[in-house]
Amino acid sequence: MRVRAYVGLGGNVGGGGAVRAAFLGAAAALARVDGVTSVRLSSLWASAPCGPIAAQPEFSNACAELSLASCSATALVAELLAIERAYGRERAREVPMGPRTLDLDLLLLGELVVDDPGPPRAIVPHPRLFQRAFALAPLIELAGPELVVPGFGVAGALLVRLGEQQVRRLGPL
């Protein structure tokens, strides 16, 4: 039985070329995770930073669709955190919603709803997915607007509700 997982990718440190390279490297690392049989990437998207640090570069965003033989949410989150660290991200030392080299968030894992205190903490669906156009737009590109986000609704409708949040497609990753 195959499960589809969706991972949000984000970053804004080092310029567009560095972020793109980090995304492609992260996709290659995801393909090597035990149980992953394929990885498919969305286009590259851009969004304005949100949060307490207004003076930071624009974010690049994408989504990776993983086909998994099987995997626990906690194990997958542990893999995502290890990949982030390999790209220089130190979550404990950064300002929340501030600049980062690479951000990998588990958005969905099949139809599962998980709140595992960990460590690491695994919450699926991502608890703020319904508030983030920069995550929903690339997710919808891969999974379609009819995708149901357990507990939140249909992805396309969720994105429409976020009309004021601007994201723009930059092109293929």
Query: Tokens in use for 167?
Result: 């994201």
Mean pLDDT (whole number) for 122-128: 97
In this structure, how many other beta carbons lie within 10 angstroms of the beta carbon of residue 15?
11
State how far the Cα of 76 lies from the Cα of 154, in Å rounded to an integer. Answer: 24
89 is catalytic: yes
Question: Active-site residue among 4, 32, 100, 115?
Answer: 100
Annotated catalytic residue 32: no
115 is catalytic: no
Is CATH 3.30.70.560 correct for 3-171?
yes
Mapped onto helix, strand or coil, the DSSP state of residue 108 is: strand
| β pairing state of 153-154 and 148-149 | antiparallel
Of 32, 91, 103, 161, which residue is the catalytic one? 103
Query: Is 100 one of the catalytic residues?
Result: yes
Q: What would the DSSP string read from start to end of 15-84?
A: HHHHHHHHHHHHHHHHHTSTTEEEEEE--EEEE---SS--SSPPEEEEEEEEEES---HHHHHHHHHHHH
Token pair 């640090």 in the structure block, residue: 53
Catalytic residue among 85, 105, 128, 161: 105
Q: Which of 40, 89, 91, 128 is catalytic?
A: 89
pLDDT tens for residues 53-98? 768 899 999 999 999 998 899 999 999 999 999 999 988 888 888 8
Instruction: Quote the pLDDT of residue 107.
Output: 98
Domain ranges of the chain: 3-171
If you search the block for the tokens 């999974």, which residue do you land on?
143
Mean pLDDT, the chain, integer = 93
Rounded CA-CA distance 14/68 in Å is 31
